[in-house]
Amino acid sequence: MTVPVRIALLLSMFWSCRLLAGEQPLSLVDLYDASRLNDATYKVASHDYEASRQEEAIGRSGLLPQVAINARYGHGGQFEKQSQASSQNDQYSSDSVALSVTQPLFDKGRWASYEQAKARGQLGEVQHEGADQELFNRVVQAYFDLAQVENELKLTTQQKASIEALAKQSQRLFEAGEGTITDREEAQARLDSILALEIQLQAQHRAALRKLAGRAGIAVSEIPEMQEQAPRAALLAPEQDLDYWMLKADQAASTLGVSRASIKLAEANLKQQKAGHYPTVALSGRLAQIDQSYVNEMSQRQSTYYLGVVIDIPLYQGGGVSASSEKARAALDSARSNYDAQFQQLNEDVELNYLGVVAGFEKIKALVTAVRSSQIALKSAEKGYEGGVRSTVDILDAQQRLFSAKRDLLDTKLAMLQSYVNLHTRTGQMTRSELEKVQGLF
């Protein structure tokens, strides 16, 4: 049993024990660990990487000696016999064994193929690094999608409970002759609306849970509740300014790594196509043994050897080499232009996510204050309602403002954390420890 298989079995047993024991809700880090084993897209990337690791060896094989053994065993003769006397002498058997060795000495095409193979290996490596980073994005996105629905559902449930209590109070006051029908109907209308929203969110919640369970490959019933508070300090250190992240992106971003490897691959392809104009030189050797015998005659055995140089000089191939070279040159120009486009897009993404983290942190602090102000306003409205100077509509509006402020706070916090993750993945800096930091801020 291989080490990866043993690890997979141990992790599977771990998750089974967790589920049977009914342990705590699934954390973001737990989801990532499970997704590394079960995410189908990541599995494809891992298999592709394993295949790409053989590219260099395949390309190098064309530069090494080519050794082969050829054997032939058979019986032959003539269909038309010249005379009766020679009718028994036209049958023969011929057996041969030959060992041939060829070693390329000068072959620009084979060398270009080797460079192509190395470029494909490098491309597979950076694509796998990108798949590692992209897995963080997919995990966090799916987790935050569920968290957003749960936040909405939690706030809706709280709001429904408040409106139900207000509706009952309005009904009692109306029956006692102290309330108005407007207050009662307004509270009931708002309650019907919030009930419809709750039904919609419950369906979305079930769908988000199934999506998360499918990505993790395990049953998911709940995740930790998100905290309605701002981080104690800024997520990025003072020295991690925009220039810092731009430099990191240029050095380690998998997107640019893929583009650079694609350029190297296109350059090697151009060299290979142009190699069709150059001669090839190879050292060739052959050692053979031939056994041949005729009917009624003694057999003959002949051993031969050959060692020499083979030179192949192309003169004209119908213009195919020139056309293929121009095609490869255009492909190289396209790869370089694609790199420029990727570089520009990466800079825009890095700046956008950097500002999302910085501005999001400041916005969260403002929204925390807005939530406190809305809570005070709601209490004032409730006291005014008890004193007869406020109506049910005033309380409902105050409640709506409070829950809207809480929803904006949680959504902004999710957006800030998502930008933090995107900033690290786009620059190739995302790690499991960074994910643990995100979980701590959740």
DSSP conformational letter for 179: S
Supply the pLDDT for residue 294.
Answer: 66
The CB-based long-range contact list for 413-416 (8 Å cut-off, 24+ gap) reads 413/226, 413/230, 413/360, 413/364, 413/441, 414/144, 414/147, 414/148, 414/151, 414/226, 415/356, 415/360, 416/235, 416/356, 416/357, 416/360, 416/361, 416/363, 416/364
Per-residue tokens: 276: 């069709």
Supply the pLDDT for residue 81.
Answer: 57
Which residues pair with residue 289 across a beta bridge? Answer: 97, 303
- How far apart (Å, rounded) are the C-alpha atoms in residues 136 and 35? 9
| Alpha-carbon distance values, 351 to 236, 283, 374 (Å) | 14, 58, 33
At residue 234, φ and ψ (nearest 5 deg) are -60, 145
Please check whether residue 289 is in contact with residue 73, taking contact to mean a CB–CB distance below 8 angstroms: no
Please check whether residue 291 is in contact with residue 97, taking contact to mean a CB–CB distance below 8 angstroms: no
SS3 assignment, position 288: strand
Sheet holding 280-294, edge to edge: 66-76, 92-106, 280-294, 300-312
> Which residue type is seen at 438?
V
Element (H, E) at 185: helix 181-216
Number of Cα atoms under 13 Å in the Cβ half of residue 111: 12
* Predicted confidence pLDDT, tens digits, the chain (442 residues): 444 444 444 444 544 445 444 457 888 898 899 888 888 888 898 898 999 899 889 889 889 999 999 888 877 766 665 555 555 556 767 788 889 999 999 999 889 889 988 888 988 888 888 889 999 998 999 899 999 999 989 888 888 887 777 777 777 766 666 666 776 777 788 888 888 888 998 998 988 888 888 877 888 888 888 888 888 888 998 899 999 999 988 888 888 888 888 999 999 989 888 888 899 999 999 998 887 776 556 667 788 888 989 899 988 888 888 898 899 899 999 999 999 998 999 999 999 999 999 999 999 999 999 999 988 988 888 888 777 767 777 888 888 889 889 999 999 999 999 999 999 999 989 999 999 999 998 8
Look at residues 18, 26, 41 and name the one whose alpha carbon lies nearest to residue 147.
26
Look at residues 292, 257, 279 and name the one whose alpha carbon lies nearest to residue 122.
257
Q: What angle do CA 281, 287, 288 make, to 5 degrees?
A: 130
In 39-107, where does DSSP find H-type helix?
A: 40-52, 55-61
- How far apart (Å, rounded) are the C-alpha atoms in residues 336 and 264? 10
Supply the pLDDT for residue 82.
Answer: 56
CATH number, span 25-61+107-278+314-441: 1.20.1600.10
Supply the pLDDT for residue 357.
Answer: 94
Q: What angle do CA 11, 16, 19 make, to 5 degrees?
A: 130
Exposed, middle or buried: residue 243 (CB in 10 Å: 0-12, 13-18, 19+)? Answer: exposed
- How far apart (Å, rounded) are the C-alpha atoms in residues 129 and 256? 12
Supply the pLDDT for residue 358.
Answer: 93
Dihedral sign from CA coordinates of 315, 317, 322, 325: negative
Dihedral sign from CA coordinates of 342, 343, 347, 348: negative
Dihedral sign from CA coordinates of 107, 108, 110, 111: positive
Supply the pLDDT for residue 19.
Answer: 45
* Extents of the domains making up the chain: 25-61+107-278+314-441, 68-75+90-106+280-313
- Cα 202–chain centre separation: 30
Please check whether residue 307 is in contact with residue 275, taking contact to mean a CB–CB distance below 8 angstroms: no
Per-residue tokens: 121: 């290996």
| Alpha-carbon distance values, 134 to 264, 421, 436 (Å) | 23, 10, 17
